[in-house]
Amino acid sequence: MRARSRKGAPGIVEVAKRAGVSPATVSRFFNEPEIVKGKTRNLIEQAAKDLGYYRNRIAGTDQHGFSGTIGLIVPTIDNAIFAELIQAFSSRLLHHDRTMLIAAHGYNPALEVGIVKSLLERRIDGVALIGFEHEKAPLEMLAARGVPVLAAWNYRKDSPIPCIGADNYQVGYQAADHLQQMGHQDVALVFPPTQSNDRAEDRLNGVLDVFNKDISTLGQNRFIETRYDIGEAKQAIIKLLLEDRPSAIICGNDVIAQGAVYACQSLGINIPDDVSIIGIGDFRGSSHMEPGLTTVRMPAQRIAEQAADLLCGGLSVTSVKGTTRIKIQSELVVRKSVKDIN
Amino acid sequence: MRARSRKGAPGIVEVAKRAGVSPATVSRFFNEPEIVKGKTRNLIEQAAKDLGYYRNRIAGTDQHGFSGTIGLIVPTIDNAIFAELIQAFSSRLLHHDRTMLIAAHGYNPALEVGIVKSLLERRIDGVALIGFEHEKAPLEMLAARGVPVLAAWNYRKDSPIPCIGADNYQVGYQAADHLQQMGHQDVALVFPPTQSNDRAEDRLNGVLDVFNKDISTLGQNRFIETRYDIGEAKQAIIKLLLEDRPSAIICGNDVIAQGAVYACQSLGINIPDDVSIIGIGDFRGSSHMEPGLTTVRMPAQRIAEQAADLLCGGLSVTSVKGTTRIKIQSELVVRKSVKDIN
DNA sequence: ATTAAAAATGCAAATGTTTTCATTTATTTA
DNA sequence: TAAATAAATGAAAACATTTGCATTTTTAAT
């Protein structure tokens, strides 16, 4: 049995005793200060300070049903993709006086149910997850408990659950459209597997629509699948470049684009003179690369902050109709990695 | 007042009733299954499943004093530096059936006290933080509550609190030593401010000792301060390269090194022929850069996992003597960014 | 100054567990 | 097979809060 060290810590009743008021009043002081009289307020404040009292936010949770904790489930933390989102979400939550419980499933949907269970056991007040493709089980568990769920990062007008994010179809469209404007016809697509990645899927569709192509009509070397991993992308793109160099490469996100840039550098191929590259995301660092990466900016911070606000503001429980859906505008940022060949 | 949606969720007593046993037994079933008889075990398991019961892990927290939650406080999430650590820590915690409460203070120590308070209010069982330099207040708050604290990432044999990490002095030494072995005498140091960054401070000292230099004897262009930011580092290093190019650059960590690489590329300076670069950290991506970055590997994953194990295993309460201190070995990984000029 | 209304506070019940101690049931030993 | 021991379970108290309702105090209205 473990040491039970923080026993004997002063509680609300000790504070009450010292302040000469009832515990109920102390409780009210911390939850709705404006409802207790100025004078008693001071008394309690002083007593709390004297005793070194910290609120116990998890004690009465059962009673009122809120723990002040919000969950965030992401595919991965260890990757530039969601870093900005996580950071912003966490710090915004702090403003709302909530804390964040975070977990990553490493693109393995099967892990998600375990994570959700663990969060539910901690009585989270709400949870944000990435995208729409999830196993049925965790979603049902959440729904059964009436825990508000919010899909962050992607937007679809007919999303099955409330969502906030960029319209990834449009994001893909923007990127491809730019390439087309610049006169590129022979472009290679490098994307991650889209089975359980709706963001990538939507982007891909946007891209395909610009070029009016179907995935099956794309040649072997014009559609390449690789995970969001710099090394893997680099290898795949080296191979592409060696076999059949396109005029431009459009990457599923900026980490793939980074791999593409490294691939070119390792082969001595000049960007953008020999080949143009466009990314998606505008991650930290993309602007400083050489050459500066042309990409479509996903406003991670805005998404994260609004997501936090929504979840803290007691997002209404999901119902098929009347679901909250917020679209955040993405933005093409042109730097130096795409050449105008008109 | 918010909807109190998850009211009426089945509790331990409903499960008990349905299984025809007492609540106490159900409680035992979940906490020490081996102590309840096989037959009743099945009964309870079935009842729980039927009712869709989830444990309520925060209910009795006050009573036994453990919440099953561990805190992690990092300077920043949105940066390659700690991404691997966070990920590994979180997933290891999951194995221990704990969850992680994480917060970032953005290198602003003043924020740390607010964060610690918030964690304390949630009755965390322990907390990991980065490095040794912290304000007195949060450390005292933690100590007063008897919450185990662990400094991860850096190791010092005389650390004020329990620690686990690489010996950053040695890390710096390794990097500089390699440069020296390769015949570099004229090297520039590019480091972040070391005031409240013990990791950087220790590395810097290791480097200085190799070259037997004092910081004051280093010329204006042989010691440069820049934050851990690719863009800022890139700018600073471009300036350096233009004014007075050294034979090699040793960077405070890999993000600075990345900035250095980009700086060279933007100037058309060849690595390693014109200038050698060595980083510290071996972050995700460092191996795939062009040229592959020579660096000193910090085993983030090992550190994180052991940290999690320690904290879950009920790290003994801090006492000045007999404090746990674990050193994780770093490792020089030589790739292509340093030239042998012997 | 009285009365009426509003604001502030207290009392006690309720929350969902865990835990101690007592009791019952099962197992081992002689 | 009886007694002794060990294992499994139950009853009820405890935990630190919040909250509905009742009561007291303050303020406003006449």
> What pLDDT, on a 0 to 100 scale, did the predictor assign at position A315?
67
- What are the pLDDT digits (tens) for B89-110? 999 999 998 999 999 998 888 8
Is B54 exposed, middle or buried, given 0-12, 13-18 or 19+ CB atoms closer than 10 A?
buried
Task: Report if pTM > 0.75.
Answer: yes
SS (H, E, C) B161-205: CCEEEECHHHHHHHHHHHHHHCCCCCEEEEECCCCCCHHHHHHHH
| pLDDT reading at B62 higher than 90 | no
To 5 degrees, how large is the angle CA A264–CA A270–CA A275?
A: 80
The closest nt to A37, taking CA to C1', is: C8
Query: Which of B77, B100, B287 minimises the CB distance to A101?
Result: B100
Residue A227's SS3 state is coil
As a whole number, mean pLDDT of residues B169-197 equals 96
CB B92 within 8 Å of CB A88:
no
> What pLDDT, on a 0 to 100 scale, did the predictor assign at position A79?
79
> What pLDDT, on a 0 to 100 scale, did the predictor assign at position A7?
54
**CA–C1' B66–D13 (A):** 20
> What pLDDT, on a 0 to 100 scale, did the predictor assign at position A316?
58
The answer to whether A292 contacts chain B (CB < 8 Å) is no
Maximal CA-CA distance, chain A:
83
| pLDDT reading at A3 higher than 70 | no
| pLDDT reading at A317 higher than 60 | no
Mutate to test the interface with B, among A55, A77, A226, A282 (most CBs of B within 10 A): A77
**Distance of CA B78 to CAs A80, B74, B81, Å?**
8, 10, 9
Burial A191-219 (b: 16+ CB within 10 A, else e): bbebebbbbbbbbbbbbbebbebeeeebe
Which of A19-33, A105-119, A156-170, B200-214 is least confident? Answer: A105-119
The answer to whether A341 contacts chain B (CB < 8 Å) is no
* Radius of gyration, alpha carbons of chain B: 25
Which residues of chain B have a CB within 8 Å of the CB of A258?
Answer: 285
B318 is written with which tokens? 């801090």
Which residues of chain A have a CB within 8 Å of the CB of B115?
Answer: 94
| pLDDT reading at A1 higher than 80 | no
- What are the pLDDT digits (tens) for B255-310? 999 999 999 999 999 999 999 999 999 999 999 999 999 999 999 999 999 999 99
**How far apart are alpha carbons A294 and A274 in whole angstroms?**
15
Supply the mean pLDDT for chain A. 92
Which of A164-178, A210-224, B3-17, B19-33 is least confident? Answer: B3-17
Residues 40-99 of chain B with CB under 7 A from strand D are 40, 60, 62-63
| pLDDT reading at B222 higher than 70 | yes
Query: Of A138, A275, A253, whose CA–CA distance to A201 is shortest?
Result: A253
To 5 degrees, how large is the angle CA A311–CA A316–CA A318?
A: 105
> What pLDDT, on a 0 to 100 scale, did the predictor assign at position A266?
96
As a whole number, mean pLDDT of residues A229-234 equals 97
- What are the pLDDT digits (tens) for B113-138? 999 999 999 999 999 999 999 999 99
Residues 155-174 of A with CB under 8 A from B: none
- Nucleic strand D near CB of residue B39 (< 7 Å): yes
Query: Of A6, A329, A290, whose CA–CA distance to A167 is shortest?
Result: A329
The closest nt to B65, taking CA to C1', is: D15
Give the pLDDT band (50/70/90) at residue B156. Answer: very high
CB B224 within 8 Å of CB B193:
no
Give the pLDDT band (50/70/90) at residue A4. Answer: very low
Residues 196-235 of A with CB under 8 A from B: 230-231, 234
**How far apart are alpha carbons B149 and B125 in whole angstroms?**
9
pLDDT: is B213 or B80 the higher one?
Answer: B213
- Asked if A118's CB is within 8 angstroms of B97's CB, the reply is yes
| B242 C-beta neighbours (distance < 10 Å), count | 11
- What are the pLDDT digits (tens) for A183-206? 999 999 999 999 889 999 999 999
**How far apart are alpha carbons A263 and A268 in whole angstroms?**
9
Chain B residue with minimum CA distance to A4: B65
CB A309 within 8 Å of CB A280:
no
The closest nt to B57, taking CA to C1', is: C17
CB B255 within 8 Å of CB B80:
yes
**How far apart are alpha carbons B171 and B230 in whole angstroms?**
21
**How far apart are alpha carbons A150 and A162 in whole angstroms?**
5
A181 is written with which tokens? 């404007």
As a whole number, mean pLDDT of residues A112-128 equals 93
A109-123, A260-274, A320-334: range with highest mean pLDDT: A260-274
> What pLDDT, on a 0 to 100 scale, did the predictor assign at position B106?
85
pLDDT: is A318 or B30 the higher one?
Answer: B30
Is A5 exposed, middle or buried, given 0-12, 13-18 or 19+ CB atoms closer than 10 A?
middle
As a whole number, mean pLDDT of residues B133-152 equals 92
| A159 C-beta neighbours (distance < 10 Å), count | 18
The closest nt to B43, taking CA to C1', is: D9
**Distance of CA B206 to CAs A23, A92, B255, Å?**
56, 38, 19
The answer to whether B49 contacts chain A (CB < 8 Å) is no
Going by C-beta distance under 8 Å and a sequence separation of 6 or more, which residues neighbour residue B13? B23, B26
**Distance of CA B27 to CAs B63, B65, B98, Å?**
14, 16, 18
Query: Of A262, A327, A261, whose CA–CA distance to A294 is shortest?
Result: A261
3-state helix, strand, coil in chain A (%, to 5): 45, 15, 40
> What pLDDT, on a 0 to 100 scale, did the predictor assign at position A80?
81
- What are the pLDDT digits (tens) for B4-44? 344 568 999 999 999 999 999 999 999 999 999 999 999 99
Residues 121-140 of A with CB under 8 A from B: 121-123
Which DSSP string corresponds to B323-341? --EEEE--EEE--SS----
A4 is written with which tokens? 């039970």
Share of chain A above pLDDT 70, in %: 95
**How far apart are alpha carbons B5 and A317 in whole angstroms?**
9
The answer to whether A287 contacts chain B (CB < 8 Å) is yes
| B257 C-beta neighbours (distance < 10 Å), count | 29
The answer to whether B22 contacts chain A (CB < 8 Å) is no
**How far apart are alpha carbons A46 and A38 in whole angstroms?**
12
Q: Starting at the edge strand that comes first in sequence, how are the strands of the sheet with B187-191 ordered?
A: B223-225, B187-191, B248-251, B276-278
| pLDDT reading at B168 higher than 80 | yes
> What pLDDT, on a 0 to 100 scale, did the predictor assign at position B193?
95
Burial A63-95 (b: 16+ CB within 10 A, else e): eebbbbbbbbbbbbbbbbbbbbbbbbbbbbbbe
- State how far Cα B225 lies from the chain centre: 23
